[in-house]
Amino acid sequence: MDKKLQPILEKLEKEIGATVSEYRGDASLVVPAEKVVEACQQVKGLGFELLSAMTAVDYWPQETPRFHVIYQFSSISRNMVLTLRVPLAGVNPSLSTVSHLYRNANWRERELWDMFGIKFNGHPDLRRILMPADWEGHPLRKDYPLGYEEPQFTFNFDEINLRKPYAKE
């Protein structure tokens, strides 16, 4: 882990009570859910101008922190990279928005709502972004089926041909 990151991690650890962990040379902080906006303000103040990525992971059978929302920051002026992980409970997960700090969080939060069902309070326009507006379910959740359809080969051509909904003229 590069040396410039050291003082920042201690500062965040003290003020927000985040736990630091390191893997393959990249530092990541685990922050409780209610302290997200404050952590993001601190991180933005410390020179991380760019919110590179924002995503979530669904640890499905494990119920208590079922989702982890991951913020990936990079600092352009001091050339550093930092990851923020926020564990969320499984039943109607919600988090407060940071789109007022980083404007590209707007669409990313809409994507997380669309794909994982994580609500973001205070988001200006929380609609589905990738799926059609009337789609039920959140596809990237682990309990959402992949939706596999049996492909048509020569050996099963006829059975599938019967029930394949060909378009009428």
Partner 1 sequence: MPDIQEITIDDLKHLVSERAIQGETVLLNMGPQHPSTHGVLRLLLELDGEIVVNCIPDIGFLHTGIEKNMEAKTYQKAEVMTDRLDYLNTVGNNLAYTLAVEKLVDLDVPVRAQAIRVILVELQRIASHLVWLGTSALDLAAMSMFLYCFRERESILDIFELCSGQRMMTTYIRPGGLWRDVPVEFEKAVRHILKTFPRRMDEYEALLTRNPLMLDRTYSIGKLTGEECLSFGVTGPMLRASGIQWDLRKDRPYSGYDQYDFDVPTRTEGDVYARYLVRIEEMRQSLRIVQQALDKLPIGPVRSNNFKFVPPPRSEIGVSMEALIHHFKLWTEGFNAPQGAVYSAVESPRGELGVYLESDGGPKPYRVHWRTPSFDNLQSLPLMAKGVLVADLIAIIGSVDIVLGDVDR
Partner 2 sequence: MGVEQKLGNMGAVTTTLEQAVAWSRTNAMWPMLFGLACCAIEMMSAQAAHYDMSRFGMELMRPSPRQSDLMIVAGRVTRKMAPVLRRLYDQMPEPKWVISMGDCASCGGVFNNYAVVQGVDEIVPVDVYVAGCPPRPEALIHGVLTLYEKVKLMKFSEVKK
Tell which one of 46, 55, 87, 90 touches partner 1 (CB under 8 A): 55
The partner residues of 57 in beta bridges, in order of sequence, read 68
Does 71 help bind partner 1 (rule: CB under 8 A)? no
Which segment (6-14, 31-39, 139-147, 152-160) binds partner 1 by CB under 8 A? 139-147
Which of these ranges, 7-15, 35-43, 53-61, 150-158, lies near partner 1 under the rule CB under 8 A?
53-61
Q: SS3 for 27-78, per residue?
A: EEEECCHHHHHHHHHHHHHCCCCEEEEEEEEECCCCCCCCEEEEEEEEECCC
Closest CB to partner 1 among 34 and 49?
49
Q: Does 22 bind partner 1 (CB under 8 A)?
A: no
103 binds partner 1 (CB under 8 A): yes
Task: Determine contact, residues 73/81, Cβ cutoff 8 Å.
Answer: yes
Rounded-to-integer distance, Cα 18 and Cα 46, Å: 16
Q: Which does 96 bind (CB under 5 to 8 A by kind): partner 2, partner 1, none?
A: none
CB nearer partner 1, residue 14 or residue 146: 146
Kindly list the strands in the beta sheet with 26-30, ordered across the sheet, starting from the edge strand earlier in the chain. Answer: 19-23, 26-30, 80-88, 67-75, 50-58
By CB under 8 A, the count of residues binding partner 2 is 18
From 100, 134, 141, select the one nearest 118 (Cα to Cα).
141
Binding site for partner 2 (CB under 8 A): 131-132, 135, 139, 144-149, 151-152, 164-169
